[in-house]
Amino acid sequence: MAKTAVNRLTVKTEGNTPYDICLKNSFSSLAQELDGIGCGGRRLCIVSDSNVADLYLKEVMEYAKKCGKEVISFVFPAGEQSKTLATVQQLYETLIQAGFDRKDYLLALGGGVVGDLAGYAAATYLRGIRFVQIPTSLLAQIDSSVGGKTGVDFDQYKNMVGAFHQPSLVYINVPVLKTLPDDQLASGVGELLKYGLSFDADFYEWCIEHMEEIDERDSETMTCLIAKCCALKKYIVEKDPTEKGDRALLNFGHTIGHAIEKLKDFTLSHGACVALGTVAAAYISWQRGYLDEDEFYEIRDMNVGFGLPISFDGISVDDIIEATRSDKKMDAGQIRFILLKKLGKAQIVTDVTETEMREAIKSLKAD
């Protein structure tokens, strides 16, 4: 992989205004970037969660004020439990009270929860206003802030209510990762490994070679890997913006991952659940002869190196099977599963049997 990362990418999807992803070392060029997309003289609402607001809201507010005519904030309690229509409703109320009109902007400052929720509010308020992603978690910087999937959970169903709504800008300040808790860094790595395993075996190996630098959040390493993931995501969403085809490959590890996440009541991080789902999917790939035994065990054991789980307890195989059925990744009653045909090549399949799934889930059970 190139040592110096590209620090600006433009995402072009049909029917949408192209937008830039820019990688920065601080928030200091935020006002200039916001100005560049037309925020000058507009009302801006910074949407954030309680953790991220404590750390970065004041600074981001100061830069935003250099551009917007009025800058307000909306902060909600951190965590997946807040990713609901009730929080969106409170945000609508804040926007109405402040007189936000169709030309005003939301700025999503935070992890994937903030980005998904603010994006959904932006998609629906006044039938759609513009928004900017300022992702602060590794997961959001490499994945959720790009591609325009927005939404909230409903009755414990993940991302059940949502819309495609592209951001106008993705502003990534890489060094904010320094304050990210270790378990949340690991969660981001869960999604990171997904990119390599599904699309690029060399990148997967690169991530393993740079395990220590990733653990230390070394700026140069993080910038390289974020740029690489954003480039992969750009390529995929440009080809398939509304997930009619290959974009679904990004759901590698998510079928069983989402089921565990839900049954564990969101007490395990999203990336940790994806990492477990990845091992299960790799297990089926191995059993089918797509991967050899060494490859399967390497995939599994890499989780340990990155602080991710390889087993769980407290939930039954039956409950997981049942939960995968109610997940959205169904195709005419058939579960759409993503398997690895080989390292670096994921493929959608619809013929995974219940027995295969049961065996894979059993291999993860610690009780």
- Residue 254 as a binder of ligand NAD (CB under 6 A): the answer is no
- Residue 116 as a binder of ligand NAD (CB under 6 A): the answer is yes
Question: Shortest approach of ligand NAD to residue 356 CB, angstroms?
Answer: 25
- Residue 47 as a binder of ligand NAD (CB under 6 A): the answer is no
> What angle in degrees, to the nearest 10, is found between the helix axes of 201-209 and 182-199?
150
Q: Give a three-class secondary structure readout of 260-301.
A: HHHHCCCCCCHHHHHHHHHHHHHHHHHHCCCCCHHHHHHHHH
44 has which bridge partners? Answer: 71, 105
CA distance 81 to 113: 9
Of the residues 5, 11, 140, 320, which one makes contact with ligand NAD according to CB under 6 A: 140
Of the residues 68, 111, 257, 309, which one makes contact with ligand NAD according to CB under 6 A: 111
Question: Shortest approach of ligand NAD to residue 70 CB, angstroms?
Answer: 26
- DSSP tag of 367: -
- Residue 232 as a binder of ligand NAD (CB under 6 A): the answer is no
Dihedral sign for Cα atoms in the order 281, 284, 288, 293: positive
Strands 169-173 and 19-24: parallel
- Residue 78 as a binder of ligand NAD (CB under 6 A): the answer is yes
Identity of the amino acid at 69: K
Q: Report helix, strand or coil for 364.
A: coil
Task: Tell me whether residue 271 or residue 290 sits nearer to ligand NAD (CB atom).
Answer: 271
- Residue 114 as a binder of ligand NAD (CB under 6 A): the answer is yes
Count, residues near ligand NAD per rule CB under 6 A: 30
Q: Which of residues 144-203 bind ligand NAD (CB under 6 A)?
A: 144, 147, 149, 158-159, 176, 179-180, 184, 187
CA distance 254 to 261: 10
Task: Tell me whether residue 116 or residue 295 sits nearer to ligand NAD (CB atom).
Answer: 116
Residue ranges that bind ligand NAD, judged by CB under 6 A: 49, 51-52, 55, 78-80, 83, 110-114, 116, 136-137, 139-140, 143-144, 147, 149, 158-159, 176, 179-180, 184, 187, 270
